[in-house]
Amino acid sequence: MSPRTKTPFALAPRGTAWLWLSALGCVVLILALCTSSAQAGTWTLVSCTQPDGQPAPTEGWSTSATGALGPDSGDTNTCPEGGDLSAVTSGEAPQGAYEGPEWVFTAPDGSTIAGGTVAATLTSPHGQAWLGTPSASYDAADVLANCQYNLPCGDDGAYSGSFPITHPGGTSLYAVAVCVGPYEGATSCPATGGLDAGVYVSSAEIALANTATPAASGFAGTLLNPNAGGTQELTFLASDPGGPGVYVVTVQIDGKTVYSGTPDTNEGRCVPIGESDGTLMFDHIQPCRTSESVDLPIDTATLANGQHTLKVTVEDAAQNASVVYDGPITTQQPSNNSLGALPGPGASAAGAGLSQGLGQPNGTAASEGAQLHLGQRSRVTRSYAKRALRVSGRLVNAQGQPITGATLELLQQTAGSPSLELIGHAKTSTTGTFIASVPAGPSRTIEVAYRAFATDAAYAATATITESVAAGVRLSVTPQRTGSEGTITVTGRVLGPVPPQGVSVDMLVHYRGHWEPFRTPRTDAAGRFTVVYQFEGALGRFPFRAEVPPSQAGFSFGRGLSGVVDVVTD
């Protein structure tokens, strides 16, 4: 399709629209008075579209309707395909009544809506479309009193933007398309009632307040035994009842942090996709587990013999933190002057390794017959925002006994790379388990490897994960409203390391029920691209997006999609 396509776009999606400028100025003033700010004990739920343009879940949203709906009324959820949450109505309402579909977001138990923004388009050729916090009724006076955003009954137009969520403290957020019957004494409503209102929510960042503090119980492990030495185990049960879940556990000895991390990423849900006003952003309504068994290996080898102070802090996804343990421990390191017990007949593999000149054993019960068992699938697919991951598993010897205190190597190999490269390490606990943080990267093979003895040239055990990462791409359009033969400029950027020759990007427009390509630009070395597009008599609302095809030379990412940007023409 050329820039001046001959396709008439005769079927204008979701109605013809006009920009309502007079309302815009009034609502901006109201927003300045009503917008709330994020505060401690808050986390942000992202719905429909992630900040990098990838589709996001719509957990917490549900639909309902009031009154007898017209034949073209209804609600749809096309967010998984890069679309939106839409509520559209047509029909007539009797005197003083309203009817229409709506999307309602309900905060999870224990949380309230504290603010945030909703990116949406409101259309109202003849009816009313509202977006806002709950109210007792849906007449125009109530809407304005509650700082909601609306197109008044009888005003033709389209109103698009990123709307702040106002009136914090509630548990519900409404996106409503309503046909309203004429009110007594009102002159702005048609005599037969309103028609054809629509609300289209393309993304939402909902700040949720939650003051529940995490807790812990059942502290045990060899670290708490008298005169602990070397690497010892600390176990306990961390919990966050009524909250967004256990996010970070921090262990300090004498004020120095010896461990800080997420004990369980909850299959990636507990990995933040970004930050907003100082709050962590997640795309699931229960991002982290509310109860988690924690098993940590704590190295005391550098501590002086004697008494020390152990402090454990648990923080949830809303950044509520609690000190759950604060008490003394004692350590006693083995004497460097002692040869210890010499290996004799029937000595362990570790002792045998030393006597045979194999070098320092890597962990207690080190074994050339070791086995590595991973705690997740061997093939994973991730979005660009979630390309960092945590790998868990267990290391055992040939007899199935845990190999404790062993150092594991983390390696990766990307497409076109001739060999594996070292990217990190992990250590096994007293039960042989480990949790490894793998930094963000492109599509790749990740390998966890174990050497039984320090001088081993080869690994005794390995386990691999194939990670496929979707390309990240951002898109913007200027202007987002133009004439039926107007010109728009589409700009964007492909994220991540882009090869010097750039990458190809397919530009798509949604027309007659499917996405149709109209141009394939190539980015520059920084990933940026620009396309100029002209309409030919098109009227309506047209979604645009960008797609990055997979398997491009020098670009180790899979197929990626941008968020959808709507353009309204008249």
In terms of Cβ atoms closer than 10 Å to its own Cβ (0-12, 13-18, 19+), residue 45 is buried
335, 263 in Cβ contact below 8 A?
no
In whole angstroms, give the CA distance from residue 144 to residue 156: 18
Would you state the pLDDT for residue 66? 55
Give the Cβ contact number of residue 129 at 10 Å: 29
431, 413 in Cβ contact below 8 A?
no
What's 358-469's CATH class? mainly beta
Alpha carbon 320 to chain centroid distance? 19
Tens digit of each residue's pLDDT (9 = 90 or more) over 22-35: 222 222 222 222 23
Would you state the pLDDT for residue 334? 74
106, 59 in Cβ contact below 8 A?
no
Would you say domain 35-209 falls under CATH 2.60.40? no
- The CA R_g of the chain, rounded to the nearest whole Å, is 29
Tokens describing residue 262: 């997420």
pTM reported for the whole predicted model: 0.55
Detail the DSSP E strand segments found in 263-402. 274-276, 279-282, 291-299, 306-316, 321-331, 371-374, 379-382, 389-396
Would you state the pLDDT for residue 189? 39
Three-state secondary structure call for residue 549: coil
Alpha carbon 484 to chain centroid distance? 37
Domain ranges in the chain are 35-209, 215-277+284-331, 358-469, 473-569
Would you state the pLDDT for residue 379? 84
Give the Cβ contact number of residue 386 at 10 Å: 22
Tens digit of each residue's pLDDT (9 = 90 or more) over 244-302: 999 989 999 999 988 887 888 887 788 888 887 888 889 999 999 999 888 888 888 88
Tokens describing residue 466: 């194939």
256, 303 in Cβ contact below 8 A?
no
Same fold, 358-469 and 473-569: yes
In whole angstroms, give the CA distance from residue 397 to residue 31: 63
According to DSSP, residue 35 is labeled B
In whole angstroms, give the CA distance from residue 387 to residue 378: 15
CATH code of domain 473-569: 2.60.40.10
The CATH fold of domain 215-277+284-331? Immunoglobulin-like (2.60.40)
Would you state the pLDDT for residue 296? 85
Which residue numbers in the chain have pLDDT < 50?
A: 1-38, 95-96, 134-150, 152-154, 180-194, 336-357
Q: Which residues pair with 292 in a beta bridge?
A: 238
Task: Return the residue matching tokens 């839409």.
Answer: 86
